[in-house]
Amino acid sequence: MAQTASFDGTWSVTQECEPAPGGARGFKWTYDATVKGGQLVGQYGTKDKPSSLTLIGQIKADGSAMLRASGLNGKSDYTAGFGQPGEKFSYPVEARFEAKRGTGLRTKARTCNFTFVKL
């Protein structure tokens, strides 16, 4: 656990999602995440409200992490499959962290690239 503490602190997250197959528009979100004891928790928007996302997961000592993004859809023209606003979503994000930077990737339904920068 001591080694995962090296990732502890506040991180800026940039999430850039490409347009989805079928025509949903791409988007870019920036939000903060906190890491404590290697556990990452990030929040975009207001939890449990449309157009929100919670990103959680454990960063291992080697910097690898399997994160889970979940939340509620916003405007349907930005949603893969044109889901309705307020519908729940969830997907995995495979990530890798170094001392001050990290990257992540979502490949389910659409491609989203995540960039993490320690503040």
Q: What is the b/e burial string over 43-72, where b = at least 16 CB atoms within 10 angstroms of the residue's CB?
A: bbbeeeeebbbbbebebeeebebebebebb
pTM for this one? Answer: 0.93
pLDDT, tens only, 42-93: 999 999 999 999 999 999 999 999 999 999 999 999 988 888 999 999 999 9
Please report the pLDDT score of residue 108 as a whole number: 84
Distance of CA 64 to the CA centre of its chain: 14
All structural domains of the chain with their residue ranges? 4-118
- Average pLDDT (25-37) is 97
Fold category of 4-118 in CATH = Lipocalin (2.40.128)
What confidence category does residue 1 fall into, taking pLDDT thresholds of 50, 70 and 90? Answer: very low
**CA-CA distance, 93 to 23, in Å (whole number)?**
22
Q: How far is CA 47 from the centre of its chain?
A: 14
Name which residue leads in pLDDT, 117 or 22: 117
pLDDT over 70 percentage in the chain: 97
What is the distance between the alpha carbons of residues 67 and 106, in angstroms, rounded to a whole number? 10
The token duo for 81 is 């499959």
